[in-house]
Amino acid sequence: MLKDTVNDIHIQSERVMMTPAQLKALYPASDTVLDSVIASRKVISDIIHHRDPRLLVICGPCSIHDEKAALEYAKRLRDLQVAYQDSLYIVMRVYFEKPRTTVGWKGYVNDPHMDGTFDVETGLKRGRSLLLKIAEMGLPMASEALDPISPQYLAELFSWSAIGARTTESQTHRELASGLSMPVGFKNGTDGSLSTALNALQAAASGHSFMGINTLGQVAVIKTEGNPDGHVILRGGKEPNYSDKHVAECEALLDKAGVVPSLMIDCSHGNSNKDYSRQPIVADDVLAQISNGNRSIIGIMLESHINEGNQPSNQKPEDMDYGVSITDACINWKKTAELLAKAHAQMLSAIPDRQIAAV
Ligand SMILES: O=C[C@H](O)[C@H](O)COP(=O)(O)O
Ligand SMILES: C=C(OP(=O)(O)O)C(=O)O
């Protein structure tokens, strides 16, 4: 075949995929699962709007690469979710799509075999099947909305989403967030810029019209209503930004913009200086702020796995250590359980003071 010298000159190949509707038919969600997703999105919205005084905890591996380990982690987390439900609302990070600073493995959907074969359709199938298994345990799940097409395949099973530090400034992601069915947190920029997240929050609260796909896989103009459950996530940048001084600065900006004074602190990434072992230090500081009367902090994020640290992603799956992250380093299960037990105790004492009127 003659190579077209005008169009697609940098495209090597294309593969037509099954539609979102076909994937959903292959891996259908039961009414019980869908009801629990609806209920958990409502709880999270209530926390963001200060109608529920509990602390939202988005906790789990930096990325999913192994179904067995993900399910074992989910079972353990579900036990703590039930045990601490009076004080914490625990949601598992089930991150299938990874943004990269330059290049690297882009996640379970993009390359599920981790060998550069980019078997996206298998990634979506495995992803949806795993989400259903975790949802059936009754554990709500969180993701990063990175690819603008994949939500049609997977988003109905997520209760919370993040727009990441590398995409908060992107119009595509703001439009996407404006139409997502769950609450969305916007990270500050990788350089620490708060205005990036604040602008995103405001942009996504508005309705937009943009090109996307529908559930039948057809290209469509999507008209959205705007997402009323946006909030900022402080994740640090050139320096950490979780201290009371940084929180006060963010509160002042939210106040000036007339938006709901709700923010989450990511204890990892720039806030831990990318040293996973610092996450409990950040969490301690945040919990102390809450104990001292802070009202705007509605949640924390933790990168946690069964075993600590991380390992290279370019090994054969059989050579990989079980339950160890292949992207950012994570705290292990023991540290996670200790941290959540402490958070539970501190939030139980703080909750009576957090019973403030709806915003
Ligand atoms: O949370 C994960 C990482 O911080 C993010 O995907 C960027 O990773 P990278 O800098 O290793 O590419
Ligand atoms: C990529 C992530 O975070 P950030 O956008 O803050 O780097 C993440 O939470 O996985």
What's the CATH number where 342 sits? 3.20.20.70
Backbone angles phi, psi at 89, to 5 degrees: -115, 100
In a domain, 358, yes or no: no
Per-residue pLDDT of 47-68, as tens digits, reads 999 999 999 999 999 999 999 9
Residue 65 contacts residue 326 (beta carbons within 8 Å): yes
Q: Which atom of ligand 1 is nearest to the CA of 62?
A: 1
Q: Is the ipTM of this complex over 0.95?
A: yes
The mean pLDDT value for 4-9 works out to 90
Give the CA count within 13 Å in the CB-facing half-sphere of 101: 6
Q: Model pTM?
A: 0.97
Number of domains in the chain: 1
Q: Is the CB of 186 under 6 A from ligand 2?
A: no
Sign of the four-CA dihedral 147, 149, 151, 154: negative
The mean pLDDT value for 96-118 works out to 97
- Provide the pLDDT confidence category of residue 357 given band limits of 50, 70 and 90: very low
In a domain, 6, yes or no: no
- Residue 272 belongs to what domain range? 20-43+56-352
Helices (H) and strands (E) in the chain, counts: 10, 10
Given its phi and psi angles, is residue 98 left (phi above 0), alpha (psi -120 to 50 degrees) or beta?
beta
Pocket probe mutation, ligand 1, options 328, 330, 331, max atoms within 8 Å of Cβ: 328
Pocket probe mutation, ligand 1, options 106, 305, 327, max atoms within 8 Å of Cβ: 327
pLDDT exceeding 70 applies to what percent of the chain?
98
Ligand nearest to the CA of 164: 2
Residue 198 contacts residue 254 (beta carbons within 8 Å): yes
Pocket probe mutation, ligand 1, options 95, 96, 100, max atoms within 8 Å of Cβ: 100
In a domain, 48, yes or no: no
Per-residue pLDDT of 241-286, as tens digits, reads 999 999 999 999 999 999 999 999 999 999 999 999 999 999 999 9
In a domain, 51, yes or no: no
In a domain, 320, yes or no: yes
In a domain, 2, yes or no: no
- Provide the pLDDT confidence category of residue 358 given band limits of 50, 70 and 90: very low
In a domain, 72, yes or no: yes
Dist CA 244 CA 339 (whole Å)? 20
Give 183 Cα–ligand 1 centroid separation in angstroms: 23
CA-proximal residue: ligand 1, atom 12 (nearest):
100
Residue 1: per-residue pLDDT: 59
Ligand nearest to the CA of 106: 1
How far, in Å, are 65, 115, 120, 184, 282 from residue 125 at the CA level? 14, 17, 9, 24, 36
Check pLDDT > 70 for residue 43.
yes
In a domain, 154, yes or no: yes
